[in-house]
Chain A
Amino acid sequence: MSAQTSKKAPAKPAPAKAAQPKAAQPKLTQVFDRPKSLKDVPWHFCPGCHHGVIHRLVGEQLDAFGLREKTIGVASVGCSVFLYDYFDVDVVESPHGRAAAVATGVKRARPDNFVFTYQGDGDLAAIGTAEIVHAANRGEKILVVFVNNAVFGMTGGQMAPTTLAGQVTTTSPRGRDIETAGPPIRMAEMLTTLEGASFVARVAVDNIKNLKKAKAALKRAFEYQVNGWGFAFVEFLSSCPTNWKMTPEAANARVGKEMADYFPLATFKDRRAE
């Protein structure tokens, strides 16, 4: 088809149709789509929960790096257990807290596959503390996506190691008392101290600016495994409107304020850039 008709098309679509039926159609470019790594199914997540957005960000990077067919995902226990219902990749379900150990076994047996875990704070920061610390310290070449919503979500909103001081949960009905429960654990900072961890960042998806930063951090974390550089950890602050007993808007706002105040958003370690 000629350059002439192409130029004409956007301006005068109707008459051009008669002369050059095909070429004359206005050229539509799809600018937004579901990542191929995600299945076309509705989320089970509650309204206002950030899991869906975080799933999407991970799916986008799997697409961008062309990893869908090479990926083995490791699901954890909690709201994120249904990883295999959303991601069109091979998935193994691990016991509560053990995803980093399971991923270690997977990656050591299949070093050419892309291996990631997706874990909540009840899973990774409580019962799975030993597994995440040692996987990081061994420098396992895996990606850990850590979703911190400061609460045990699936079990109904109990206190997590990341629950903020004074936060009311079903097991801290008077608010978290740091005298008896200790202060909330900052996992990203803790893992940063380990020589074996190569990339550690904390991000949020509560607004467009943070979302873009989250994308960039996640992309960088993917590069660590794709290039065989080592262990990468990305902590996402997430809302949990249902268990926080808040509207989605209020919960979203809380992530950017209260949560980000205590859990600062930053890239703590990017060894290759140092």
Chain B
Amino acid sequence: MAKRVLVKGNEAIAMGAIAAGCRFYFGYPITPQNDIPEYMSAHLPDAGGVFIQAESEIASINMLLGAAVTGARAMTSSSSPGISLKQEGISYLCGSEVPGVIVNMSRSGPGLGGIHPSQGDYFQSTRGGGHGDYRTLVLAPSTAQENYDLTMLAFDLADKYRNPVLILGDALLGNIKEPVELKPYRKTPPVKDWALTGTAGRPQRIVKSLFLADGELTVQNWKLFKKYQSMERDVRFENYLTDDAEMIVVAFGSVARILKTSVDKLRAKGRKIGLLRPITLFPFPKAAVLAAAQQCGHLMAVELNTGQMVEDVRLAADCQAKVDFYGRPPGSIPTPDELAHEVEKAWRQGGRK
């Protein structure tokens, strides 16, 4: 068994990144993710890597672009307002097909908001977030262990698709301290035949997102679209006690973790409730949600916002289930009992069947 350590969720992300071969980190301080740059500044140099505290979030994401374009594994991290600033670079990464990992240990907004856990960045994360018609893969961990595991996966997916991958956590997942098994990274990163290394022995390589020639940009956008479609192969989700469920709750990240306990409590009372937890928010587990809708005719989205993922749940359910919603804007973290109460209330009203 691999070594187990007691660490903060933020540190687990940094550890996963270094284990996966990330050697370049660029960041800017913002709460509640500061453990990531702090860990990287302490440990990357020893791993033969480079840590730069950039002058801005914008510079960080552009430094990532520069390092990643040479074929290196690179990461930046921030929290909501900082991620907004990085959107320019994320759009360019997508447009010029450069891989990279961007961590958003999100906080609450809008504006300066606060530093509470929130899932208010769901739309920004899954709809592209910047200008242009693009998508990033979005991974949503719900434990410190998953922070570690999914960060390693993020680098593989980024390289596989030549696309940025977003890890969407929140203040809770970043600051929770729990045991993490430091599984070794066993993959071999792919050869990058597009990376800029100098033209010695080969023709010039160009990495760009400007396509001005007649029809060129249309071709490029269709190519990207097909790539985003192909990401469906890497959809991930967890079904928890859904087999015989009369109602299935759909939730991700920290709130899904709380809901597991709520489901256990309701099961103890004989309520047949299940939980479907999307792990990839893009691609969204549409087929799994549709299957859940068809199975029990009653879904409920629960989020730490006023209603974002619920739209994807309704689209995926394709009118084959009643879709209830419970949302909690930032300010407090719901307890398992509170959520169990809300879920039971919806369950009592019944679904479509």
Interface residues of A, Cβ cutoff 8 Å to B: 68-72, 74-75, 81, 84, 88-95, 98, 101-110, 113, 130-131, 133-134, 138
21 inter-chain pairs at a CB distance below 8 angstroms, sorted by A residue, are A69-B201, A70-B200, A72-B70, A72-B196, A81-B210, A90-B198, A91-B204, A91-B208, A102-B69, A105-B65, A105-B68, A106-B67, A106-B69, A106-B70, A109-B66, A109-B67, A109-B70, A109-B72, A110-B70, A110-B196, A110-B198
Of chain B, the residue at the smallest CB distance from A39 is B204
B155 at the interface (CB under 8 A from A): no
* Alpha-carbon distance A110/B208, docked complex (angstroms): 19
Min distance, Cβ A111 to any Cβ of chain B, angstroms: 9
Q: Which chain B positions have C-beta within 8 A of A91?
A: 196, 204-208
**Cβ of B52 < 8 Å from any Cβ of A?**
yes
Closest approach, in angstroms, between the C-beta of A222 and any C-beta of chain B? 16
Minimal beta-carbon separation of A102 from chain B (angstroms): 4
A134 CB, nearest partner CB in chain B, Å = 4
Q: Are B200 and A105 in contact (CB under 8 A)?
A: no
Q: Which of A70, A81, A94, A113 has the most CB of B within 10 A?
A: A94
Q: Mark B46-83, 1 if CB is under 8 A from A, else 0.
A: 00001010111011101111111110101000000000
Find the residue from A71, A75, A104, A138 having the highest chain B CB count within 10 A.
Answer: A104
Task: From A84, A102, A110, give the contact of B63 (CB < 8 A).
Answer: A102
Q: How far is the CA of A131 from the CA of B58 in the complex (A)?
A: 9
CA separation between A68 and B198, bound complex, in Å? Answer: 8
- Shortest CB–CB separation between residue B300 and chain A, in angstroms? 41
Q: What residues on B are CB-neighbors of A104 within 8 Å?
A: 52, 59, 63, 66
Closest to A99 in B: B62
CA distance A105 to B56 in the complex (A): 14
The residue on A at minimum CB distance from B73 is A109
Residue B335 is within 8 A (CB to CB) of chain A in the complex: no
Q: Does B199 contact A (CB under 8 A)?
A: yes
- B69 partner residues in chain A, CB cutoff 8 A: 92, 102, 105-106
- List 7 extra interface pairs beyond A93-B208, A107-B66, CB under 8 A: A75-B208, A90-B198, A90-B205, A91-B196, A95-B88, A95-B92, A110-B197
- Does B141 make an interface contact (CB < 8 A)? no
B182 to chain A, nearest CB (A): 26
Distance in angstroms from B62 CB to nearest chain A CB is 4
Q: Of A90, A105, A134, which one neighbours B64 at CB under 8 angstroms?
A: A105
- B89 sits at the interface (CB 8 A): yes
- Do the beta carbons of A70 and B65 come within 8 Å of each other? no
A95 to B85, CA, bound (A): 13
With a cutoff of 8 Å between Cβ atoms, the chain B residues found around residue A93 in the complex are 96, 206-210
B207 in contact with A130 (CB, 8 Å): no
Query: CA of A103 to CA of B62 in the docked complex: distance in angstroms?
Result: 9
Within 8 Å by CB of B59, from A71, A75, A134, lies: A134
**A134 and B200 in contact (CB under 8 A), knowing A84-B206, A93-B210?**
no
B24 within 8 Å of A (CB atoms): yes
Q: Which residues of B contact A (CB under 8 A)?
A: 24, 26, 50, 52, 54-56, 58-60, 62-70, 72, 74, 88-89, 92, 96, 196-201, 204-210
B17 to chain A, nearest CB (A): 15
Which residues of B have CB within 8 Å of A81? 210
In Å, the complex CA distance between A213 and B67 comes to: 34
What CA separation (Å) do A18 and B206 show in the bound complex?
52
In angstroms, Cα B26 to Cα A71, docked, is: 23
Residue numbers in B under 8 Å from A102 (CB-CB): 62-63, 65-66, 69
Q: Which residues of A contact B66 (CB under 8 A)?
A: 74, 92, 94, 101-109
- Assess the A105–B199 pair: CB atoms within 8 A: no
Q: Please give, as numbers and ranges, the residues of chain A lying within 8 Å of B72 by CB-CB distance.
A: 109
Partner among B52, B55, B201, B210 whose Cβ is within 8 Å of the Cβ of A108: B52
Which residue of chain A has its CB nearest to the CB of B92?
Answer: A95
Cα A21 to Cα B96 with chains together (Å): 56
Question: Are B55 and A105 within 8 A (Cβ)?
Answer: no
Chain A neighbourhood of B24, CB < 8 A: 105, 108-109
**Docked CA distance A94–B67 (Å):** 12
B65 with A92: CB separation less than 8 A: yes
Q: A101 CA to B88 CA in the complex, in Å?
A: 13
Q: Is the CB of A68 within 8 A of B63?
A: no
Please, which residues of chain A bring their CB within 8 A of the CB of B208?
75, 84, 91-93
A118 to B204, CA, bound (A): 18
Taking the nearest CB of chain B, how far is it from the CB of A94, in angstroms?
A: 6
Task: Chain B residues near A133: list those with CB within 8 A.
Answer: 55
Contact of B55 among A72, A75, A89, A130 (CB under 8 A): A130
Nearest chain-B residue to A69 (Cβ)?
B200
| CB < 8 Å neighbour of B62 from A89, A101, A113 | A101
In the complex, how many angstroms separate the beta carbon of A257 from the nearest chain B beta carbon? 35
- B-chain residues with CB within 8 Å of residue A130 when the two chains form the complex: 55-56, 58-59
- The CA of A136 and the CA of B96, in the complex, are separated in Å by 26
Minimum Cβ distance to chain A for residue B73 (Å): 10
The 7 closest A-B pairs by CB, nearest first: A105-B66, A93-B208, A101-B62, A105-B67, A105-B63, A134-B55, A69-B200
Identity of the chain B residue whose Cβ is nearest the Cβ of A133 in the assembled complex? B55
Residues of A within 8 A of B55 (CB): 130-131, 133-134
Query: Are the CB atoms of B67 and A108 closer together than 8 Å?
Result: yes
Instruction: Name the B residues within 8 Å of A75 (CB-CB).
Output: 208
Q: Once bound together, how far apart are the Cα atoms of A72 and B71, in whole Å?
A: 13
Q: Contact: A71 with B198, CB < 8 Å?
A: yes
Cβ–Cβ < 8 Å partners of A72 in chain B? 70, 196-198
- B59: chain A residues within 8 A (beta carbon): 98, 101, 104, 130-131, 134
* Residues of A close to B56: CB separation below 8 A: 130
A101 close to B96 (CB less than 8 A): no
